[in-house]
Structure 1
Amino acid sequence: MDVSPKNAPILLSDEQVRQYVVNGYVILKPSVPTHIHQVVCRKLTACLNEGGNPGNNVLPKVPEMRHVLNSPEVRGALISVLGEDYIEHPHRHCHHLSPATAPATDAKARTDAVAANCHQDAYTPLGRPRQHYSRYARIMYYPQDTPIELGSTHVIPGTQFNQGITDADRAQAIPVDGEAGTVSLTHFDVGHAAGLNTVNQPRHMVKFIYVRAVEPVTPSWNCLSRQWQPPQDVQAPYDLNLTWSHVWDWMCGKRDRYHSFRQKNILSAGKVSQLVEDLNEVQEVNIRLQIIHQISALSAEATDAIPYLIEMLNTDHQAIRLAAIYTLGIIGQPAVEPLIASLKESGVREEAHSVPQPWNEGAILMDDTAFALTAVGSSAVEALILALDDTSEWTRINVAFALGELDSHAANAVPRLIQCLNDKSHRFVRTVLDALGSICQNVPTFVTDISQFLLKEEPSWEEELHSRRWTAQDQIRINAAMALTRLGQDAGAAEDVLIQALDDPCGHVGAFGELDSHAANAVPRLIQCL
């Protein structure tokens, strides 16, 4: 890759990263010659006409798109939100939109079409948890001029934190139109939709997925101030400043993910009992958010509000749930025991089902208590480690997820998580593998434990879980390969196994295996893979 000054990554500014944190997306204009987009568009059309959608093979079929993905603007933006060692996921797709069979040009028809198309993407090949932190990002690229009339993709600002899309969310969708070469960088979980194509030509939009490899330890963008402040262009419908500042501080690599909030919010003299009473008397979302914000400013002095905040989790309005999650987090240690108890209650309820209801092989909706325990920080780790012994599969899954979201704060959990890899639940093992990849501490102790899953065969994991015939065994191998990829050269002890994994019939495993193989011994086999 050419890294001359001319092609050096152009990092995002503070304002652009703030927009990404709040709205869930930013728009990029790569410095790629116009004729490249014309070639891409022509080749995509030919691929679709000759052999159908190439799916994950779209990039090898149209390699000119590398000019866009390797452009200083796109590389710089990906570094800015995912870190310098970001990983290109093997999944990519050309979203082809044909002209509507009975095109309608009135505004209502367009609005109805967009509303019907609104969704959050599923993970591939099988489910992964929706996440608040910037761990997965999506590039959406237009190779042709894409006005609204051509069915431009719409985005729903602020929905990257949501556990689903509501009708109210659908009404907030806005078009992302632009000239050929326009790229939008989005949080993977932000809601979006195809528009209505009323022009007599097809629309192409090509999607690429990228993954954060390592925990942020310092801002990876052109950061001039590490103190959080909202962007000038706030498109999200609700004030979630506590959530936004928490995510910003995580992206800055701060050990205290509430540093910015503490700097700006001095303890008020309000009584918690009065605030809770006020909270119970009002229904309007914005007013309730203001009250919760006042509670959060009290920090550890707001312990009396803990049971009321926990009641809001999982069932209340999404914005209220988020405010409650991160208010419980800033209250800190006093919230840990009640949150663990609430999580265990959820686990008991899910035991009535053969598969936990929030577990979906498109995307997994973790319990709000898991996010709140993550938000508490390192003081929740010991209680989470103990909860790994809970009898409920759903509880254990959420505990492992929370530990992974704590990154290196959860280093003490590594020995117990390694033991958990012996569990027979593929759902739990998948979550533990992800957690170990995120924590990335005490690496030599678990490289072998993870790499064994690239070759291990467990009959109970061979059941097909998806219409595309993916099995739990496939996804476990993918999670193991991805965890090793995130470890980079620290995974060198797994080299021989990784080379064998290149032959895995699941293409995703082989793709991550290639990314893992740093050693010269892998070169002959990699050449054969060509």
Structure 2
Amino acid sequence: MTRLSDAALQDFIIQGYRVVQPTAATELHGELHRQVERVLATGNPGNALIDRIPLLHQLFADPAVDAALTGILGPGYALCRHCHCHDLAPGTQSQNWHKDYPFGGNMRYHRPRYILMLYYPHEVTPDMGPTALVPGTQYYMDGPSDEVEGLPLTCAAGTVVITHYEIWHRATTNSSTRTRYMLKFLFTRTQERTPEQRSRWMPTGRHAALYRTLWRWYGGQAPALRPQRTVAALQEALQNPDERVRIDAYYDLGTLGAEGVPVLMAALKDESARRWQANLERGDFTNPSQLESPYGLAAAGAVAVPALVEALQDGDWWLRAGAANALGCMGIEAQKAATALAAALQDDSEWVCRNAADALSNMGQVPAAVPALTQALDDSRAMTPWSLSDAPLRENAAMALAKWRAPTAAVAALQQARQQSNEYVRSWAEWALDRRF
């Protein structure tokens, strides 16, 4: 398999998308186009799309597609249950700019733990309502204005576009006489550490600290340069109305390590109290702890873990939930918090529980947390649903155990979880058990 080049991965970090031309013969795409039309003639299959069109597995196994997915998500990536075929009929008007609903109702990560794979089985011309992206917007919660045209994905038959899950996008107006099909699939990273070593990269300008942080996460060399602004100036920048300015300030504070942690923790306490209600009222399944300070705390790394573990014991649920999200952003560097996160699965707040389970899924296998995650598979407490799922805590627990290759102590519970009514829990349990062999 050809490795994704450093330049290509750096471009993905900045732009948030990569166009891939599969090596498969054109006949595959023609046959997939015919099968899509045949299946949709009886109704959209939703998540059963791959079940109805097994030929899609040939596309997923294509060397060019696999190389891009492996380069971005690392080896052992997983195809998630959620998928959809978007059929844009002639005369359909343009959508508003949007992000897809947050996966599991969880934190929206800057680190590419989830990606969307968009597949076009036929040629897409400008009049067919091509998908449009706004490159570089995967790090923002504030969407583009309606005046932004974006980048239209006009392409040849069989083109695959891999995007960061959080990029802003929309369908444009289909003024042609043909239906435009786009098959959307969701993939996730299962290993936090990327084993391969990559070159030195020193981006400058806007978001330089963010890009360097991501490059180090990918195994690249990118020294954490001390920001030119003082701590006081960075703290003031956290109140700037421009989201881009705030993001840079958070990452610069994270670059300072232990020196920046007190400011970042104060920001987490302020943000979590001030924003949780507005997040829930957005109407798009946003996590109440979708905050900016966790990105800076994740950039600070292990030196921030003790303060975050202490915050997991705070009397305010919104701070506990925010601390869990920050630890989840950090991933494997926060492994020492796994015991505290496992205990948080029994928290009185559903959001603390959900965020803790999601955080554990990013940390690599931690045997001490397996019993708590196993118990969470049977948690019957009522949870606020997200999109198509009514069991987000159980789903997150099953996902964590799947990423951990179904530890022996969890096998019996995962076998039982395969019988649950929630299809996402079932699919994670099945995939977890399959990975053992």
TM-score greater than 0.5 by the shorter chain: yes
1:106-150 CA-partner distances (Å, limit 9, x unpaired): xxxxxxx65x432111135x4121110010011000001112221
Written as runs of structure 1 = structure 2, the 5 A alignment for 1:46-125 is 46-50=38-42, 52-100=43-91, 114=94, 116-124=95-103
Please, which of 215, 223, 248 is the counterpart of residue 248 of structure 1? 215
Compared CA separation, residues 118 and 467, structure 1 to 2 (3 A): closer
Distance between the aligned counterparts of 2:210 and 2:386, measured in 1? 34
**CA displacement at 1:397 relative to structure 2:** 1.2
2:255 is the alignment partner of 1:330 = yes
Compared CA separation, residues 364 and 345, structure 1 to 2 (3 A): closer
1:192 counterpart letter in structure 2: H
Where structure 1 has 5 or more consecutive residues not aligned to the other structure, the ranges are 1-8, 102-112, 232-237, 268-295, 524-530
Match of 2:164 in 1: 187
Higher helix share: 1
1:15 counterpart letter in structure 2: A
Distance between the aligned counterparts of 1:365 and 1:393, measured in 2? 10
2:373 counterpart letter in structure 1: I
The DSSP-based 3-state class of the residue aligned with 1:185 is strand
Please, which of 427, 430, 433 is the counterpart of residue 511 of structure 1? 427
Contact 1:25–1:185 under 8 Å retained in 2: yes
1:192-228 CA-partner distances (Å, limit 9, x unpaired): 1112222211111100001111112434xxx6x5211
1:130-186 CA-partner distances (Å, limit 9, x unpaired): 110010011000001112221211111001101131307x61511111111100011
1:456 counterpart letter in structure 2: D
2:424 is the alignment partner of 1:446 = no
1:461-503 CA-partner distances (Å, limit 9, x unpaired): 15x63575x43xx1111101100011015x2221111111111
Distance between the aligned counterparts of 1:240 and 1:420, measured in 2? 33
Compared CA separation, residues 146 and 508, structure 1 to 2 (3 A): same
The DSSP-based 3-state class of the residue aligned with 2:348 is coil
Match of 1:143 in 2: 121
Match of 1:527 in 2: none
Match of 2:243 in 1: 318
**CA displacement at 1:519 relative to structure 2:** 8.2
**CA displacement at 1:334 relative to structure 2:** 2.2
Written as runs of structure 1 = structure 2, the 5 A alignment for 1:72-471 is 72-100=63-91, 114=94, 116-124=95-103, 126-167=104-145, 171=148, 173-219=150-196, 225-229=198-202, 239-252=206-219, 260-262=222-224, 296-297=227-228, 302-312=230-240, 316-349=241-274, 353=277, 361-362=285-286, 366-440=290-364, 443-458=366-381, 461=382, 465=385, 470-471=389-390
Please, which of 373, 393, 418 is the counterpart of residue 476 of structure 1? 393
Contact 2:115–2:188 under 8 Å retained in 1: yes
Task: Tell me which stretches of 4 or more aligned residues in structure 1 moved more than 4 Å.
Answer: 353-360, 362-365
Compared CA separation, residues 66 and 355, structure 1 to 2 (3 A): closer
The DSSP-based 3-state class of the residue aligned with 2:65 is helix
Contact 1:359–1:365 under 8 Å retained in 2: no
Where structure 2 has 5 or more consecutive residues not aligned to the other structure, the ranges are none
Written as runs of structure 1 = structure 2, the 5 A alignment for 1:25-36 is 25-36=17-28
Please, which of 11, 14, 17 is the counterpart of residue 9 of structure 2? 17
The DSSP-based 3-state class of the residue aligned with 1:389 is coil
The DSSP-based 3-state class of the residue aligned with 1:311 is coil
Distance between the aligned counterparts of 2:29 and 2:345, measured in 1? 46
1:57-109 CA-partner distances (Å, limit 9, x unpaired): 111111111111110011111110111011111001001100116xxxxxxxx
Higher-Rg structure is 1
Identity of aligned residues (%): 29
Contact 1:153–1:193 under 8 Å retained in 2: yes
1:260 counterpart letter in structure 2: A
1:2-42 CA-partner distances (Å, limit 9, x unpaired): xxxxxxx3331111111110000010000111111111111
**CA displacement at 1:449 relative to structure 2:** 1.1
Distance between the aligned counterparts of 1:310 and 1:440, measured in 2? 32
2:265 counterpart letter in structure 1: I
RMSD: 2.5
How many residues align? The count is 437
